[in-house]
A and B are shown apart, each in its own frame.
Chain A
Amino acid sequence: MADNPQTHYLPTTTCYNDNDLTGDANMAKRVLLCDDEVHILRAAEFKLKKAGYDVQTAADGLEAWEAIQQQKPHVLITDCQMPRMDGLELVRRLRSAPATADLPVIMLTAKGFELSTEQLAEQWGVKVVMAKPFSPRELLQQVEHLVGRSIGSEQPRAAPV
């Protein structure tokens, strides 16, 4: 939080949301975590909060969708298989709404061969797919890359495709 976020804020195209306060140097970046497993939420939330993020959680796709309508996060981290609305459906919905068409998404899933990373990236713009079991440290790094901010010695890198 001590470093200057001014140089790393998101591209302006994602900032037309009224609620978006990316430009405010003193505001923490918002991360929305979506998973139906409480223990996964807790672990990721703990790591990200300690790193200074403003973390919100949702138990399924529908809850996440509603939360995003309230306030757009800077990054969405979502599971794939969830009750009511799964991660894929959530991303589909987000992409069809102009306000969230380019919301950075990390998919954190225990699914294996039935998910095509390429298709997720190309068709749905899911920039990062992380497999469970996951390392909270790595998750944090991916979030850092996506919101274009670094902490400690790490240099900011271009966001992955």
Chain B
Amino acid sequence: MIAVWAGNYFAPAGWGTAQIGTLALVVFLAGCALVFVSWHFQRQQSQANRHLEVLARLTPQDLFADIPAVVLPPLPPKHPQAAAIASVKEVLAAHLRRIQDLEHARAALEVRCRRAVAQCEQIKAIFSYLAEPILAVDDYNELLLANRSAEELFGFESAKVEDRALARVVQCQRLVDLLAGTASRKTPGSRTEELEITDAQGRKRWYRATAVKLAAGDGGEQRGMGAAQGAVAVLRDIGDHKALQKRNAEFVSAVSHEMKTPLAGIKAYVELLADGEAEDRATQEEFLQLISGQADRLQRLVENLLNIARIEAGVVNVNKQPRSLNEILEEALRLVRPSAEAKNIQLVSELSPMYLGVLADRDMLLQAALNLLSNAVKYTPEGGKVILRSQTDGHQIRFEVQDTGVGLSEEDCQRVFEKFYRVKKDRDMAPGTGLGLPLAKHIVEDVHGGTITVESKLGEGSTFAVILPRAGQSL
């Protein structure tokens, strides 16, 4: 209408109504287009603004939830700000990805860190409670680290040590030198030394010390933490090993002594006979008897040694049959009687009048009984008494050897069945290899399923008791 009015008003003269109408339409259309265009620009602007506003308001949480893609429809591709907004969004997205990556990395690191701390704690606990004393020193041979065991051995407290020079903490110059020497070496590799260390209580103990160089280049993580250069030593208690070595040496010495004594007799009499020293028949006969006796003795010793070795190695042929225990014990008594009489020791037999059936390897059980009896005779002074008893005890059979000998201390009672163990104070009282009682124990316990025990009082005598299962009547 306005266009029509305006057409009427402004139209040049001479225009007809039709012309004016056309013009008005054109003007109207142009107006519409103008309005549309401005509306369109405004809409685009507000779309862009909304994008920017949303982007501006975004919180980190929204970023992770990828909200812009949800709440904002994409801008039409021809939108004049589309490129700018898209590049902002791309930058944001790139940052977002980076933040996400960092966040993942951080979480992973946190887990690793926690694990590392836990591991470190575990290692510290293990280190501190390790039975082996461990000491670490730096380049200047000053104490870096010591575990509980090392502290106890040398009698110090790591936390309280002020002068950390190892030589002042540890009273063992050879260990100090070993660590210093290892720390100053150019090449890795361990060094080992056997040391006798006097502990905080003044006892001497043997240790095998293994020292290795601590190098700063051991792994990148350590380098960052200013890891030490120096050396660490682990001490292994070899007291038992040393004691065993000593006992083995003593055993070899005892065995050779025991073997040489009968051998000496054999060789001496052979020489006397060969030299024709024994002129009469009776002397020759006597010498031959002595040779034979000593040869038997040597044989018994060798058999004892082999028996114990065989039983220990588990390669014995056991021939168990129902036997009369009393018969075996009587035989043992008969065998030991000469040595008892030589020492004027009264050998008393108190065997049960009943038949005591045992499932036994006769030779082995005889050996065990003989060892107990000859042991009693050996360690009973002249004029003493050795009693052999047997009796039933329910389903079990018991025999015991009681003597009026030198007796055993409590410690000796516990150790007397150990191989090669010989009671020190009585060692020179009689020759022996320290094998008789261990062999008897093996025979009774491992082969016959019985038990062997000792009760004793120093100076009053000992009683060795053997308990064996009773063989069933049906056997």
Residues of A within 8 A of B (CB): 36-37, 39-40, 42-44, 46-47, 50, 81-84, 86, 110-114, 131-137
Contact = CB atoms under 8 A, between A and B. Distances in A.
A79 B134 CA distance: 50
Contacts of A81: 257, 428, 431
B268 A134 contact: yes
B257 A110 contact: yes
Interface stretch (B105-113, B215-223, B259-267, B446-454): B259-267
Interface in B286-310: 290, 293-294
Contacts of B240: none
Interface of B: 253, 256-257, 260-261, 263-269, 271-272, 275, 277-278, 283, 290, 293-294, 428-431
Contacts of B272: 43, 46-47, 136
Nearest to A39: B265
A47 B260 CA distance: 20
A135 B271 contact: yes
B431 A43 contact: no
A62 to B, nearest CB: 12
Contact of B268 (A44, A84, A110): A44
A47 B268 CA distance: 10
A137 B276 CA distance: 12
A135 B267 contact: yes
Contacts of A40: 261, 264-265, 268
B253 A133 contact: no
19 contacts: A37-B261, A37-B264, A37-B265, A39-B269, A44-B268, A47-B277, A82-B428, A86-B428, A110-B257, A112-B253, A113-B253, A114-B253, A131-B260, A133-B263, A135-B267, A135-B271, A136-B271, A136-B272, A137-B275
A132 B430 CA distance: 18
A42 B290 contact: yes
Given A37-B261, A39-B265, A81-B428, A112 B271 contact: no
A42 B429 CA distance: 21
A110 B252 CA distance: 12
B249 to A, nearest CB: 9
A43 B268 contact: yes
Nearest to A108: B264
Contacts of A83: 428-430
A82 B261 CA distance: 12
B268 A133 contact: yes
A50 B256 CA distance: 31
B79 to A, nearest CB: 107
Nearest to B279: A50
